[in-house]
C-alpha cells in the first residue's frame, strides 16, 4: 500500500445509480486518468469501495475510461477497505480485491484494462503478448494465447437433471464451457472448466424495474439478511468475518441483479455458494417487513414529541448519490434518453420515490423475478463439474418452471433531437455549469464484431488525453473537465455520451453540442490517421490478450463478459471470445472499408435520437430540498392520529431492538464455517533479487511467469526535492506523458506509446518507513516518482527509449496543457470531496501525526485543492507562468541527477529467460540515464522532509459541503513510535468493522458504511463512515467501541472466525506485476518476509485478551482522539457536543 498521487484518485467504487453516467469506466476498469475518480460502478451490498490490494498498485494502475453508460454499483469487503482510505497506505499486506467496475459487464473481455498514467493497466497475470501480423494495430508484436498451457476435459459432463445445450472450447482463455438447461425449471447454467484454483460462482436475475422506488437495489441488500437455512440476521457479514473468499458481494444493474462469490478453497467456495443460493431463493426478507424497513426505508420516531424522520440504508445511500452533481446530471440524461423503457427509471432508487415502496410491492417483485426460470447461473474454475451441478440442483429442484416475462423492451429511437435542462446543489454558481451530448445509437441487436469496432472507436475518440474528440473538448477552453467516455454497451442499447463541466454559463451548452457534432462530422468525412487506428487497435488487443484482471478473479470477468449477451437471450460464449471478430475487423480495415466512419455516420451524425443536457448550479437548492423534506414529514406527522404516532414509536423501538439483538447460538450454528486447520500457516513469499548497479542504482528483479511480457517500474528518489515542490509532482507527472516531447507532439507520443507498448505512465508513492515489529518513527519517510510500463519481449528496447524520452525531453513548457490539467484536477477534486469525503477525512486526520501523511495531504488531500487553485492562477497569468515552469524544470533536473545510493531504482518483473535476455538493454538504459544532460549534477543532496514539514496539531475539523450525508472520521495515535503492535490488531479491526460498526453505524444508524482500521507502521487508528445521515451519533458509536471491546466475551468459535477472515484478506491471489511492485515497495520501506511471517503468526495466535487490551487502548484514545468530518452544514449545526473548527474547502 502506498501513498498515491491525487492525479490518480482513490479508486473508490461506491454505490452509484443507473443514471449516473458521468464517469464512464472502460469496460472492467476501475479508475480514470486524472481527476475523474472512477465511481461509475455497481450498486452493491458492501459499501467499502476499495481494498488494499487495489490501492497498493493504484498509483501505477489508473484505468482510463472510454465507455459511457449507466453503471451498477459494487463495493468490497470491510476489513480490507480501511487501508485503502489511507493517505499513505503501507506495502505490508496483500488484501483481497473485491471491488469491480460496473462497466465490466459490457465488453468485459473485448476492451481489457487501462493502466498507469495513461494507457493499459498492469494488475493481473499476463496471459499473452500483443498481436502479430501487419494489420493496423499489430505493431509487429508476437501473439501468445493466454493460458495456452491450461487443459480442460475433452468431453462434456452429463447430468440427469440437466440438458446439455452447447459445449465449446474458449481457446482465447484456455477454458471449456458447457451451457446446461435445468430440465425442471428451465434455469440456464454456464459451467466453465479452467485450471484456476480461484473458483467463481454467480447467479443473476433479470430485474427491470418499472419505477424509481429502488426495489431491485433494496432487494439486493435484503436477501442477504437471513434465509431459510441460514437464520442469522446477516449471513453476508458472517461470511465477511470468517471466510477465505476472494470476492464476496452483490450488485444491481439497471436491468439485472448479480450475486457473485469466489474462493480458492473448495470447502469455503461451496459454503459461499450454499449461502447465496439459499439467500436468493428463500430470504427472510419476504416474510419479515423489518428487513425492508432497515435496508430500504422506514419512518423513525423515538418519542412521540420528536420530529418524524426517514431512515434506511438504501434511502440514505441514494441521498448521498444524488448530492453529487454528476449523478444528478446522469439521472436527467437517462430519463431523457429512455423515456419509454426501464432505463428511464432508477433501479437504485430516487430518494423522493423510495418512500412510496410498500412491503407488498417488495415481496411481489421477489416472487416474480427471483425464480430459477428467470436465472442465469455461472460456475468457473477447477472444481468438479458434477459437484457443481449436484449442489445447484438441490435448490432448483424445489421449483417448477415459471414462464415469467422479464424481457427488457427496446427504446424506439426519437425522431428529432431534444434539449433538456436541470439544476444541482452548489456552494457557488461561478464556472460550475455542465453540458453533455448523448445518443442512444441503435434499437436492434448488434453483432459482436460491431461491438468490438465500437469499443475501438470509443478509444480513438476518447481513450486518452490525445484522442481526437477528448482533445478537442479540452482544447476548446469552454470548460474545466471532460465528461463521459464515448460509447458504452453495458446495457441492451448502447449509448454515447460526452460533455464538459466547469462551463461559465448555460449558453455554453450549445457551444459544446456544436463542437461535438463538428468534430464527429469531420471524422465522418475524413476518417482517422492510420497511426491513430494502429495505436488504438494495439492497445485494445494487448489488453484482450493479456487478460489483466487486477485483483479480481478472472472467472468473474468472464462471467460479466458472458452476461453481455446472455442476459438478453443471446449466446453467452459470444461475450467470452474476440479472435474471430478481431481478425475480421482487421481484414475489413486492410481492405479499405471505412468502418469507423460508417459507425460515426449511422450511429451519431445521422441519428436523431440525441439529447443535449445542460445543468446549472443552484446555491439554494440544498436548503430548499431539506426544507421541503422537513415540511413533508411534519405534514405527514400532523395528519397522523395519536394511535398512528404511537405505532411509529413502537415500530421504531422494535426495529432497533431487533437490530441490536445478538444472534442466538442456534442461529449462528447454521452458518457453514472453516477451521484453523484449513489455513496455511506460512506467509507466501515473492521472489526478489537486488543487485548493486552502476553509480548507486539498484536493479531489483522478480522472476515470475508473465507469458513473455516485461513489466518495468523505474523509481526516482523524490527526496531530491524540497518539500515545497512536492505539491507540483502530480502536475509534473501528467505533463511527462501528456504534453508531448521534443520529438513528438502530445498526439504522436500517445499513439507511439499505444502502438509499441501495453501502457506507460508516471505516478508516485510516499510512505513511512517500517521498524520491524515496532511502530515506526513518524518523521521517517521516503518517496519515489515511478514510471511504470509494460511490453512484449520484442519491444523492450522501444519501451526503454520511450521512458527515456518522456523523462528527459517532455515539454514542460506546454502551458496550455498545464492549464487544462489543472482545470481537470480542480474539477475532479471538488467532485471527489463531495462524493468520497471519507477518503479526504481519513487523510486529513492522519496528516497531523506522521510526515508521510502530512505530505500526502499536501499532494492529494484537502490542502492540495487550494494548491491546485493557486497553480491554476499562476499558469493562466502571463507574469507568473514562467516561475511555475521554472519550478517544473527544476524538479526534472533534480530527479534526473540519478547518481547516488537509491537515487534510481529499476524494478523488473518477467520470466527468468526474458530477464536474462534483456539485461544488456537494461544496462545500456541505465548508462544513458546516468549520462543524461538534463540532470543537475550539483543536486546531490537528499532533503530531510521531517525538518521541512510544518506539522499542525490535531483538532476537530469540519468541512461543510453541499450534500445530504456525512463522512465522519475519528481517531488518533493508538500505538506510539517504538511500541510493538501485534498482528492481532488487524483481527480486531476487522472484527469491529464487520460486527459492532456494521450494526451500530450502518444497520441501526442507517449509514451506507461504517468501518475502522489500524496502520501497523504508523500506529494510527481511524474510524470512518460513508454516506452517513448522522454525525454526533456516529462519533458516539465510535467511542462506544472501546467499552465494547474492553468487556467482550468471545467463544473460541467466534475468535477462530475472526482469525480466518483476516487470513483470507491477506492471502488473496495477486498477479505477477502486482507481486513485483508489492515486493519492491516492501523492500524500500523495510518490510521483510520475516516481519510478515511474524505478523501472520500473531494473527493466528490472537486471543480474547488481545481484544480486551485493545479496547483499553481505545478507551485511552477516546480522551485525545479528534474528529474530521466532511458533511452538510445542517449536521454541524446539530452536533453541539463537538467543538468543530469549520473550514470552507470548496
pLDDT in tens, 1050-1097: 999 999 999 999 999 999 888 899 999 999 999 999 999 999 999 999
Residue 51's closest CA among 22, 18, 27, 84?
84
| Cell, residue 459 | 478509444
Residues with Cβ within 8 Å of 22's Cβ and at least 6 positions away in sequence, in order, are 40, 326, 327, 329, 330, 483, 484
Average pLDDT over residues 335-360: 97
* 3-state helix/strand/coil string of 568-637: CCCCHHHHHCCHHHHHHHHHHHHCCCCHHHHHHHHHHHCCCCEEEEEEEEECCHHHHHHHHHHHHHHHHH
Residue 1's closest CA among 69, 71, 60?
60
Pair 503, 587: CB distance under 8 Å: no
DSSP state of 696: G
**pLDDT per residue over 380-427, tens digit each?**
999 999 999 999 999 999 999 998 899 999 999 999 999 999 999 998
Question: Strand pairing partners for 1010?
Answer: 1025
User: How far, in Å, CA of 294 to CA of 1002, rounded?
Assistant: 9
pLDDT tier for residue 264 given thresholds of 50, 70 and 90: very high
pLDDT tier for residue 8 given thresholds of 50, 70 and 90: very low
pLDDT reading at 46 higher than 70: no
**pLDDT per residue over 153-173, tens digit each?**
446 789 999 999 999 999 999
| Cell, residue 259 | 450475486
Q: pTM score, two decimals?
A: 0.87
| Cell, residue 42 | 455497481
75 a catalytic residue: no
DSSP state of 772: T
Q: Can you count the helices (H) and strands (E) in the chain?
A: 40, 28
For cell 428451465, the residue is 186
**Confidence (pLDDT) at 97:** 24
pLDDT tier for residue 73 given thresholds of 50, 70 and 90: very low
Q: Residue 667 burial by CB count (10 A; 0-12/13-18/19+): exposed, middle or buried?
A: middle
| Cell, residue 74 | 459494487
pLDDT reading at 996 higher than 80: yes
User: How far, in Å, CA of 280 to CA of 225, rounded?
Assistant: 10
Question: Strand pairing partners for 699?
Answer: 691, 906
**Confidence (pLDDT) at 43:** 53
Please say whether the dihedral angle defined by the alpha carbons of residues 943, 948, 953 and 956, taken in this order, is positive or negative.
negative
For cell 477516546, the residue is 1118
Q: Residue 309 burial by CB count (10 A; 0-12/13-18/19+): exposed, middle or buried?
A: middle
Phi, psi dihedral angles at 292 (to 5 degrees): -65, -35
Helix 851-860 and helix 862-876, axial crossing angle in degrees, nearest 10: 50
Phi, psi dihedral angles at 692 (to 5 degrees): -80, 120
**pLDDT per residue over 284-337, tens digit each?**
999 999 999 999 999 999 999 999 999 999 999 999 999 999 999 999 999 999
With left for phi above 0 and alpha for psi between -120 and 50, is residue 300 left, alpha or beta?
beta
**Confidence (pLDDT) at 156:** 72
Please say whether the dihedral angle defined by the alpha carbons of residues 1136, 1140, 1144 and 1146, taken in this order, is positive or negative.
negative
User: How far, in Å, CA of 486 to CA of 215, rounded?
Assistant: 30
295 a catalytic residue: yes
Give me Rg for the CA atoms of the chain. Answer: 27
Q: Which residue has the higher pLDDT, 152 or 803?
A: 803
509-544 CB burial, b ≥16 within 10 A, e <16? beebbebbbebbeebbeeebeeebbbbbbbbbbbbb
**Confidence (pLDDT) at 45:** 56
- Range name among 88-97, 192-201, 365-374, 468-477 with the lowest pLDDT average: 88-97
User: 140 by DSSP, 3-state: which?
Assistant: coil
Please say whether the dihedral angle defined by the alpha carbons of residues 534, 536, 539 and 544, taken in this order, is positive or negative.
negative
pLDDT reading at 37 higher than 60: no
Residue 249's closest CA among 640, 610, 560?
560
**pLDDT per residue over 181-228, tens digit each?**
999 999 999 999 999 999 999 999 999 999 999 999 999 999 999 999
| Cell, residue 568 | 438478453
- To the nearest whole number, what is the mean pLDDT of the chain? 87
Q: Which secondary structure element, helix H or strand E, spans residue 245, and what is its range? A: strand 245-248
**Confidence (pLDDT) at 44:** 58
pLDDT reading at 66 higher than 90: no
- Range name among 337-346, 505-514, 833-842, 935-944 with the lowest pLDDT average: 935-944
pLDDT reading at 85 higher than 50: no
Average pLDDT over residues 497-514: 95
**pLDDT per residue over 580-602, tens digit each?**
999 999 999 999 999 999 999 99
User: How far, in Å, CA of 723 to CA of 718, rounded?
Assistant: 9
User: How far, in Å, CA of 370 to CA of 227, rounded?
Assistant: 14
- Range name among 58-62, 355-359, 577-581, 1046-1050 with the lowest pLDDT average: 58-62
Concatenate the DSSP letters of all residues of 488-539 into one string: E-SSSS-EEEEEEEEESSTTHHHHHHHHHHHHHHHHHHH---HHHHHHHHHH
**Confidence (pLDDT) at 671:** 95
Pair 1146, 1128: CB distance under 8 Å: no
Q: How many CB atoms lie within 10 A of CB 373?
A: 18
**pLDDT per residue over 632-666, tens digit each?**
999 999 999 999 999 999 999 999 999 999 999 99
With left for phi above 0 and alpha for psi between -120 and 50, is residue 251 left, alpha or beta?
beta
* Of 220, 317, 513, 824, catalytic: 220
pLDDT reading at 1023 higher than 50: yes
Average pLDDT over residues 464-472: 96
**Confidence (pLDDT) at 431:** 67
Q: How many CB atoms lie within 10 A of CB 1101?
A: 13
Residues with Cβ within 8 Å of 31's Cβ and at least 6 positions away in sequence, in order, are 8, 9, 11, 25, 37, 38, 58, 61, 62, 63, 64, 114
Pair 486, 462: CB distance under 8 Å: yes
Residue 1095's closest CA among 1064, 1066, 1060?
1066
For cell 521512458, the residue is 803
| Cell, residue 1011 | 468501518
* Of 295, 449, 565, 738, catalytic: 295
> Percent of the chain having pLDDT more than 90?
82
Kindly give the pairing relationship between strand 904-910 and strand 698-703: parallel
Amino acid at each position: 500500500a502506498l501513498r498515491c498521487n491525487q492525479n490518480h484518485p482513490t479508486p473508490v467504487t461506491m454505490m452509484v445509480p443507473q443514471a449516473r453516467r458521468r464517469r464512464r469506466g472502460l469496460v472492467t476498469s476501475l479508475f480514470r486518468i486524472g481527476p475523474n475518480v472512477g465511481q461509475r460502478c455497481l450498486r452493491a451490498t458492501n459499501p467499502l469501495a476499495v481494498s488494499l490490494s487495489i490501492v497498493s498498485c493504484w498509483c501505477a494502475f489508473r484505468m482510463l475510461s472510454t465507455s459511457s453508460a449507466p453503471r451498477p454499483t459494487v463495493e468490497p469487503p470491510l476489513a480490507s477497505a480501511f487501508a485503502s482510505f489511507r493517505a499513505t497506505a503501507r506495502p505490508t499486506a496483500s488484501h483481497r480485491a473485491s471491488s469491480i467496475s460496473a462497466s465490466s459487464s459490457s465488453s468485459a473481455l473485448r476492451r481489457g484494462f487501462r493502466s498507469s498514467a495513461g494507457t493499459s493497466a498492469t494488475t493481473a497475470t499476463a496471459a499473452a503478448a500483443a498481436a502479430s501480423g501487419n494489420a493496423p494495430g499489430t505493431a509487429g508484436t508476437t501473439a501468445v494465447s493466454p493460458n495456452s498451457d491450461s487443459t480442460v476435459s475433452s468431453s462434456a459432463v452429463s447430468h440427469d437433471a440437466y440438458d446439455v445445450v452447447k459445449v465449446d472450447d474458449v481457446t482465447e482463455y484456455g477454458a471449456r464451457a458447457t451451457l446446461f438447461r435445468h430440465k425442471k425449471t428451465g434455469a440456464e447454467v454456464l459451467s466453465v472448466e479452467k485450471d484456476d484454483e480461484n473458483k467463481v460462482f454467480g447467479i443473476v436475475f433479470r430485474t427491470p424495474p418499472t419505477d424509481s422506488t429502488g426495489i431491485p437495489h433494496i432487494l439486493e441488500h435484503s436477501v442477504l439478511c437471513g434465509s431459510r437455512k441460514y437464520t442469522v440476521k446477516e449471513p453476508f457479514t458472517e461470511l465477511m468475518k470468517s471466510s477465505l473468499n476472494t470476492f464476496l458481494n452483490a450488485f444491481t444493474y439497471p436491468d439485472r441483479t448479480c450475486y457473485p462469490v469466489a474462493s480458492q478453497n473448495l470447502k469455503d467456495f461451496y459454503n459461499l455458494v450454499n449461502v447465496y443460493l439459499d439467500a436468493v431463493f428463500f430470504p427472510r426478507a419476504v416474510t419479515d417487513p423489518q428487513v425492508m424497513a432497515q435496508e430500504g426505508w422506514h419512518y423513525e420516531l423515538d418519542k412521540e414529541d420528536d420530529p418524524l424522520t426517514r431512515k434506511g440504508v438504501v434511502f440514505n445511500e441514494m441521498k448521498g448519490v444524488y448530492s453529487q452533481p454528476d449523478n444528478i446530471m446522469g439521472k436527467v440524461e437517462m430519463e431523457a434518453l429512455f423515456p419509454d423503457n426501464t432505463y428511464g427509471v432508477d433501479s437504485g432508487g430516487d430518494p423522493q420515490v423510495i418512500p412510496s415502496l410498500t412491503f407488498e410491492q417488495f415481496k411481489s417483485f421477489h416472487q416474480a423475478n427471483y425464480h430459477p426460470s428467470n436465472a442465469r447461473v455461472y460456475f468457473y474454475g477447477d472444481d468438479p463439474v458434477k459437484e457443481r451441478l449436484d449442489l445447484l440442483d438441490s435448490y432448483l429442484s424445489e421449483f417448477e418452471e415459471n414462464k415469467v416475462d422479464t424481457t427488457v423492451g427496446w427504446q424506439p429511437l426519437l425522431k428529432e433531437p431534444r434539449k433538456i435542462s436541470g439544476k444541482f446543489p452548489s456552494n457557488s454558481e461561478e464556472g460550475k455549469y455542465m453540458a453533455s451530448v448523448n445518443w442512444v445509437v441503435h434499437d436492434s441487436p448488434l453483432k459482436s464484431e460491431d461491438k468490438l469496432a465500437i469499443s475501438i472507436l470509443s478509444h480513438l475518440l476518447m481513450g486518452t488525453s490525445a484522442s481526437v474528440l477528448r482533445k478537442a473538448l479540452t482544447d476548446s477552453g469552454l470548460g474545466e473537465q471532460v465528461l463521459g467516455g464515448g460509447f458504452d454497451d453495458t446495457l441492451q442499447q448502447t449509448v454515447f455520451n460526452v460533455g464538459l463541466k466547469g462551463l461559465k454559463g448555460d449558453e455554453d451548452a450549445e457551444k459544446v453540442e456544436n463542437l461535438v457534432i463538428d468534430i464527429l462530422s469531420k471524422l465522418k468525412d475524413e476518417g482517422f490517421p492510420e497511426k491513430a487506428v494502429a495505436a488504438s487497435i494495439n492497445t485494445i488487443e494487448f489488453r484482450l490478450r493479456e487478460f489483466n484482471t487486477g485483483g479480481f478473479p478472472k472467472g468473474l470477468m468472464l462471467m460479466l463478459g458472458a452476461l453481455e449477451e446472455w442476459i438478453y437471450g443471446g449466446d453467452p460464449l459470444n461475450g467470452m471470445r474476440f479472435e474471430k471478430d478481431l481478425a475480421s475487423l482487421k481484414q475489413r480495415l486492410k481492405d479499405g472499408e471505412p468502418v469507423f466512419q460508417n459507425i460515426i455516420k449511422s450511429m451519431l451524425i445521422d441519428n436523431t435520437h440525441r439529447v443535449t443536457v445542460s445543468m446549472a448550479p443552484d446555491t439554494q437548492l440544498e436548503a430548499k430540498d431539506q426544507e421541503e423534506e422537513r415540511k413533508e414529514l411534519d405534514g405527514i406527522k400532523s395528519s397522523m392520529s395519536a394511535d398512528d404516532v404511537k405505532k411509529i414509536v413502537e415500530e421504531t423501538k422494535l426495529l432497533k431492538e431487533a437490530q441490536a439483538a445478538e444472534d442466538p447460538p442456534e442461529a449462528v450454528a447454521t452458518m457453514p464455517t472453516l477451521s484453523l486447520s484449513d489455513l496455511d500457516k506460512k506467509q507466501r513469499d515473492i521472489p526478489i533479487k537486488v543487485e548493486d548497479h552502476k553509480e548507486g542504482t539498484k536493479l531489483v528483479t522478480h522472476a515470475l511467469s508473465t507469458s513473455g511480457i516485461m513489466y518495468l517500474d523505474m523509481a526516482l528518489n523524490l527526496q531530491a526535492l524540497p518539500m515545497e515542490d512536492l505539491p507540483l509532482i502530480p502536475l509534473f507527472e501528467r505533463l511527462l506523458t501528456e504534453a508531448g516531447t521534443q520529438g513528438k507532439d502530445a498526439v504522436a507520443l500517445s499513439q507511439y506509446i499505444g502502438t509499441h507498448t501495453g501502457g506507460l505512465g508516471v505516478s508516485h508513492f510516499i510512505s513511512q518507513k517500517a521498524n520491524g515489529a515496532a511502530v515506526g518513527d513518524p518523521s521517517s519517510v521516503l518517496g519515489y516518482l515511478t514510471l511504470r510500463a509494460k511490453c512484449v519481449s520484442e519491444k523492450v528496447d522501444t519501451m526503454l527509449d520511450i521512458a527515456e524520452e518522456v523523462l528527459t525531453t517532455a515539454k514542460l513548457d506546454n502551458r496550455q496543457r498545464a492549464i487544462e490539467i489543472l482545470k481537470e484536477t480542480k474539477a475532479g477534486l471538488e467532485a471527489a470531496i463531495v462524493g468520497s469525503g471519507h477518503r479526504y477525512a481519513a487523510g486529513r486526520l492522519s496528516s497531523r501525526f506522521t510526515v508521510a501523511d502530512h505530505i500526502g495531504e499536501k499532494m492529494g488531500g484537502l490542502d492540495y485543492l487550494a494548491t491546485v487553485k493557486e497553480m491554476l492562477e499562476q499558469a493562466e497569468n502571463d507574469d507568473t507562468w514562467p516561475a511555475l515552469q521554472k519550478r517544473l524544470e527544476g524538479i526534472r533536473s533534480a530527479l534526473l541527477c540519478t547518481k547516488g545510493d537509491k537515487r534510481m531504482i529499476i524494478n523488473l518483473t518477467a520470466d527468468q529467460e526474458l530477464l536474462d535476455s534483456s539485461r544488456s538493454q537494461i544496462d545500456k538504459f541505465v548508462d544513458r540515464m546516468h549520462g543524461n544532460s538534463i540532470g543537475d549534477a550539483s543536486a546531490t543532496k537528499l532533503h530531510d522532509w521531517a525538518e521541512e514539514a510544518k506539522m499542525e496539531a490535531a483538532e476537530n475539523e469540519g468541512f461543510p459541503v453541499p450534500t445530504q450525508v456525512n463522512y465522519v472520521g475519528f481517531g488518533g495515535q493508538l500505538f506510539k513510535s517504538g511500541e510493538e503492535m501485534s498482528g492481532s490488531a488487524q483481527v480486531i479491526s476487522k472484527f469491529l468493522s464487520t460486527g459492532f460498526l456494521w450494526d451500530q453505524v450502518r444497520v441501526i444508524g442507517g449509514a451506507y458504511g461504517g468501518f475502522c482500521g489500524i496502520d501497523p507502521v504508523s500506529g494510527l487508528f481511524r474510524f470512518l463512515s460513508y454516506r452517513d445521515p448522522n454525525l454526533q451519533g456516529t462519533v458516539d458509536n465510535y467511542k462506544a467501541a472501546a467499552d465494547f471491546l474492553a468487556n467482550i466475551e468471545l467463544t473460541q468459535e467466534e475468535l477462530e472466525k475472526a482469525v480466518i477472515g483476516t487470513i483470507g484478506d491477506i492471502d488473496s491471489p495477486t498477479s505477477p506485476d502486482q507481486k513485483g511492485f508489492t515486493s519492491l515497495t516492501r523492500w524500500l520501506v523495510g518490510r521483510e518476509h520475516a516481519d510478515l511471517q511474524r505478523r501472520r503468526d500473531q494473527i493466528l495466535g490472537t486471543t480474547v485478551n488481545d481484544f480486551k487490551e485493545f479496547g483499553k487502548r481505545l478507551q485511552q484514545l477516546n480522551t485525545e482522539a479528534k474528529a474530521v468530518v466532511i458533511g452538510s452544514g445542517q449536521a454541524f449545526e446539530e452536533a453541539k457536543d463537538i467543538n468543530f473548527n469549520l473550514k470552507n474547502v470548496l
